[in-house]
Amino acid sequence: MDNPILKALKDRRSIYRFEKTPIDEKKIDSILEAGRWAPSWLNKQPWRFVVITDQGVKERVSEYVPTIHSLGTKEAPVCFAVCVDPEEDPYHFIEDGAVATQNMALAAHSLGLGSCWIGVFDLENEKGSSEEKVKEILQVPKTYRVISLLPVGIPKYIPEKTRKELAQLVTHCDLDMSAKTKIRS
């Protein structure tokens, strides 16, 4: 099927290394708009976005991301932190932040840029976690949660990726489940 959205979904890759070329403000604003227009439960829109362009701040944040993402976080000309307010949506704030992150990653791809989703959210919200350290560096209010970081820039390279076959992932459900393939672990 020739569909630009499906093509973007298939072509987008996680980019771990970036050129130092600055990103135009209009592109940054477009990526933020994509996050703003993400769906959320009951349209609560509990997200807030932190735009990180300061090299010193990116370097400090990079200390608290998994090693594979550290260099890319420093290299990317811009890094977004996707934060959510659990008080605005106590039931689905994680999913809301995740969908906003995905919208932003797809927007970056559509603009010829690369990105890489970095999860820093700590389910237990423990003291000393990477999420807590990132919140301190970015001065995110204590009641907010940081769902992800999204470094964005011009890719140094684009990795090849594969996906499982659709038949491995899909189960069809009807009233006669005895004749259908069950979900396998």
- Give the chain's domains with CATH numbers: 4-179 (3.40.109.10)
- The pTM for the full model equals 0.90
Q: Is the pLDDT of residue 21 over 60?
A: yes
CA angle, 32 then 159 then 60, to 5°: 50
Give pLDDT tens digits for 74-85. 999 999 999 999
Structure tokens at 106: 């797809």
Distance CA 108, CA 134 (A): 22
pLDDT band at 19 (very low <50, low <70, confident <90, very high): very high
Longest alpha-carbon distance in the chain: 60
Report residue 177's pLDDT band, with 50, 70 and 90 as the boundaries: low
If we measure between CA atoms, which residue out of 60, 43, 168, 144 comes closest to residue 96?
A: 43
Top-confidence range, 12-16, 110-114, 156-160, 172-176: 110-114
Residue type, 4: P
Q: What integer is the mean pLDDT of 148-157? A: 96
d(CA 111, CA 5): 13
